[in-house]
Amino acid sequence: MRQVFGHGSVQLSRIMGSLVFFGGLALVGGMLWQVGLAGLRASFQALGPWVVPFLLLDSISLLLHTAGWAACFQRHQLHLRLWQLCLVRMAGNAINRVTPTADLGGEVVKVMLLTSALPQAQAVATVLIDKASIALAQMGYLTLGTLYLTGYLPLPVGVQRGVRLSMGLILLGLVGFVAFQRYGLLSKLVRGLGCLNIGQARLHQLSQRLAPLDAHLVAYYTAHPWRFGLSWLLHFMAFVFDGIQTYILLRLLLGESAPNFAQAMMVAIAVAAIEQMFFFVPGSLGTLEMSRFKTLSLLGVDDGHSVAFALIMRLHNLFWNGLGLLAYALCTHRAVLPQVTQPVAQPPAAAPPPGC
């Protein structure tokens, strides 16, 4: 029965994934049909050879995010060069974008690649710290943008309150996630669940495995709290640069008639928020194109330039996803990461608490 149920679940997942994928293709096709090839060709001709330097602009954002991740290591524990860490980040980002894993599959890939050069507990700790940092940075970026949007658009008061409440709840959850790391509560929580007489042996083993991870997390936040602040700032700057890229592309396409910088940031923030909502769509196919098209249409941009903007950004995503998959192949098939040649001392695990 388990095999039949599991097989049916896999089949259902594949069917849903196929439906979503072809639905995204249908959205893109409908946009192209509405604009026509002539209008689209004219928009691409306005960009011309500038498309190549525009695609390479994202390397600045990548470097900022990688530097933000490097700040999540304790200074004496970073055994990787920045370009090696950059390759690992590119590989993880590509897996996150091409698979519907809610930004978790790429984090597992990062841990897997880092364990060739770092102890597993340390690798997991740095990925968790970076995940918290980047989530807080993105939340700050989206919150500022949402506050601007609610003031810019004539939304009802109830909608504005609902948006602010949801943002506040998400921010509260992120703060709780950081607090769990800061005070080493992961293993303590699992150990506490063992007091319920449910799977005590397994929970005890799990808490022992989590203890070194908690020790790494507590050591980082205790000894280097300013490094977490630096990581947050670098990630926040990378998200702001995404808005700058949007403004640059609109200027290249539309010239003097392009939306101003604040409006371009609004487009970037709206697209980032929608991308988080539709994380389950492989590659966000169709959803990002439609969100960009509709947002630009609200700003008065004609359909031809709106579709051209959406397709160029899709080309941008494909270009960097391809580089990320290439980075994954390099990291897994060639020795581009240093190997651990001798045991690295683990931080002492916390002493077990008194019996329940």
**pLDDT computed for residue 198 by the predictor:** 61
Q: Count the Cβ atoms, other than its own, within 10 Å of residue 86.
A: 20
List the one residue out of 174, 146, 154 whose CA is nearest residue 274. 146
Q: Are 296 and 309 in contact (CB under 8 A)?
A: yes
DSSP assignment string, 82-103: HHHHHHHHHHHHHHHHHS-STT
pLDDT at 229: 92
Cα(293)–Cα(266) distance, rounded to whole angstroms?
13
pLDDT at 228: 92
DSSP one-letter string for 214-244: HHHHHHHHHH-HHHHHHHHHHHHHHHHHHHH
Contact between residue 50 and residue 252 where contact means Cβ atoms under 8 Å apart: yes
Residue recorded with tokens 């980082």: 220
Parse the chain into domains and list their residue ranges.
54-161+224-306
Regarding pTM above 0.85, the answer is no
pLDDT of 3-27, one tens digit each? 444 444 445 545 555 555 555 555 5
CB 51 within 8 A of CB 308: no
Question: pLDDT tens digits for the chain (356 residues)?
Answer: 444 444 444 455 455 555 555 555 555 555 555 555 555 566 566 677 788 888 899 999 999 999 999 999 887 777 788 899 999 999 999 888 877 666 778 888 999 999 888 888 888 889 999 999 998 998 888 887 777 666 666 656 666 666 667 777 777 777 777 777 777 666 566 555 556 666 556 665 666 676 777 788 888 888 878 899 999 999 999 999 999 999 999 998 888 888 888 888 888 888 887 777 666 666 666 667 777 777 788 788 887 788 788 888 888 888 898 899 999 988 887 667 776 554 444 544 444 544 44
